[in-house]
């Protein structure tokens, strides 16, 4: 039987050499490394039919003597480990490439791609190692289920508000501005009372967000809803109620479904972009409309003396609630700055992480 040289294809990583020998149904294989030279001998069906095939390759740099190989019906795959984790300029010690040797483009990577692949493997190993050390929360499924249902209820509530107000706006036009409170208030009361959970959830560790930004937003909205609108009948018929409710609902119909999907480890790119972008114009507009509501309520509180703080009878005076509202206006815009800074950090962190994963 004639002895021939098979076609051999190669690729490398920093720590290994991969060889693919084009022999099908290989038998009687003898593969080993001696004096830094790989020697291959075996029988099988190659480029010139059924024959004995053999070849030898003297490597450019030292390799370990252990050789792993796996024979399939189509080829023989060989893995040789390098002594050092370094990138080789070529495979063989001789500069001229043997005629039977060619790159394996199915596995070929240049050095930078191989380094990236190596980093990804190390990151996966580190992640698995960290996860194995961290004790799994036995109530994780229950917590995610609770958060999913909370966000679903809020999404449905704010969707109803948004759709109802939009339909009424198209049908009634500007007339819908004046009875918004009487039409929407009950559902808004429910959603905003439920929103107190957004302060409790981070406080008890259900979610990994700050308590302060949530407290500022939830308590600020509830102050406007229950104190400004809820206690003053004259405020309930003003157009500013429409703008406050509409801006709140526009933000939330994107925020809550984003959190719902996060509970089931799912992401929609468009929804993610909207959740981290649409608040940039809407949040300041919402605060501005709340400030208008506060300013419009000050003369009413002065006139009615509602919620005024009485002083001792000897003085015979009281502190008007309007003074508290003026202080609240300053606190409101300070809260806008704090929350805006927090949300921008969230947005930058989110898209920086996504960009790093994409690269």
- Tens of pLDDT, residues 65-98: 899 989 888 899 999 999 998 888 888 988 888 8
pLDDT band at residue 341 under the 50/70/90 scheme: confident
d(C-alpha 145, C-alpha 41), whole Å: 61
Say whether domain 8-108 belongs to CATH 2.60.40.790: yes
Residue 239 half-sphere exposure toward CB, CA atoms < 13 A: 5
Active site (catalytic) residues: 283, 290
Percent of the chain with pLDDT over 90: 41
Query: Residue 119 pLDDT more than 80?
Result: no
Percent of the chain with pLDDT over 70: 90
d(C-alpha 81, C-alpha 324), whole Å: 75
Query: Residue 357 pLDDT more than 60?
Result: no
Structure tokens at 312: 């001792």
d(C-alpha 156, C-alpha 179), whole Å: 22
CB-based contact 8:20 (threshold 8 Å): yes
100-106, Cβ contacts within 8 angstroms, sequence gap of 24 or more: 100/5, 100/6, 100/7, 100/8, 100/55, 101/8, 101/9, 101/10, 101/57, 102/7, 102/8, 102/9, 102/10, 103/9, 103/10, 103/11, 104/9, 104/10, 104/11, 104/18, 104/19, 104/20, 106/11
Query: Residue 132 pLDDT more than 90?
Result: no
Which of the residue ranges 15-19, 94-98, 354-358 has the most confident prediction, judged by mean pLDDT?
A: 15-19
Could you tell me the CA-to-CA distances from 65 to 36, 182, 269, 351 in Å, in that order? Answer: 8, 84, 50, 47
Domain boundaries, the chain: 8-108, 139-330
Structure tokens at 340: 């805006």
pLDDT band at residue 180 under the 50/70/90 scheme: very high
Residue of higher predicted confidence among 348 and 300 = 300
């Amino acid at each position: 039987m004639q002895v021939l040289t098979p076609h051999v294809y190669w690729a490398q990583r920093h720590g290994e050499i991969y060889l693919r020998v084009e022999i099908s149904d290989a038998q009687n294989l003898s593969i080993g490394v001696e004096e830094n030279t790989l020697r291959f001998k075996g029988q099988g069906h190659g480029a010139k039919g059924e024959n004995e095939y053999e070849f030898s390759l003297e490597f450019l740099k030292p390799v370990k003597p252990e050789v792993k190989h796996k024979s399939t019906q189509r080829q023989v795959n060989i893995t040789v480990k390098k002594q050092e984790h370094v990138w080789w300029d070529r495979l063989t010690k001789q500069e001229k490439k043997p005629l039977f040797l060619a790159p394996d483009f199915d596995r070929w990577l240049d050095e930078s791609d191989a380094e990236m692949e190596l980093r990804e493997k190390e990151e996966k190993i580190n992640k698995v190692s960290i996860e194995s050390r961290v004790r799994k929360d036995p109530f994780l499924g229950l917590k995610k289920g609770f958060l999913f249902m909370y966000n679903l209820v809020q999404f449905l509530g704010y969707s109803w508000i948004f759709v109802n107000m939009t339909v009424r706006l198209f049908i009634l036009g500007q007339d819908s501005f004046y009875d918004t409170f009487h039409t929407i208030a009950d559902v808004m009361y429910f959603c905003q009372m439920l929103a107190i959970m957004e302060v409790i959830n981070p406080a008890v560790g259900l979610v990994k967000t700050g308590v302060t930004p949530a407290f500022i937003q939830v308590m600020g909205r509830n102050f406007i809803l229950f104190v400004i609108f809820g206690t003053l009948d004259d405020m309930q018929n003003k157009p500013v109620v429409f703008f406050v409710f509409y801006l709140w609902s526009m933000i939330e119909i994107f925020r809550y479904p984003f959190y719902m999907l996060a509970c089931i480890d799912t992401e929609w790119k468009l929804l993610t972009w909207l959740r981290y972008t649409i608040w940039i114009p809407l949040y300041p507009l919402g605060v501005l409309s709340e400030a208008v509501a506060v300013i419009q309520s000050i003369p009413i509180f002065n006139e009615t003396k509602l919620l005024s703080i009485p002083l001792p009878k000897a003085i015979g005076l009281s502190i008007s609630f309007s003074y508290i509202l003026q202080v609240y206006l300053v606190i409101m815009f300070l809260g806008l700055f704090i929350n805006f800074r927090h949300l921008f950090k969230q947005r930058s962190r989110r898209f920086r992480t996504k960009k790093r994963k994409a690269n």
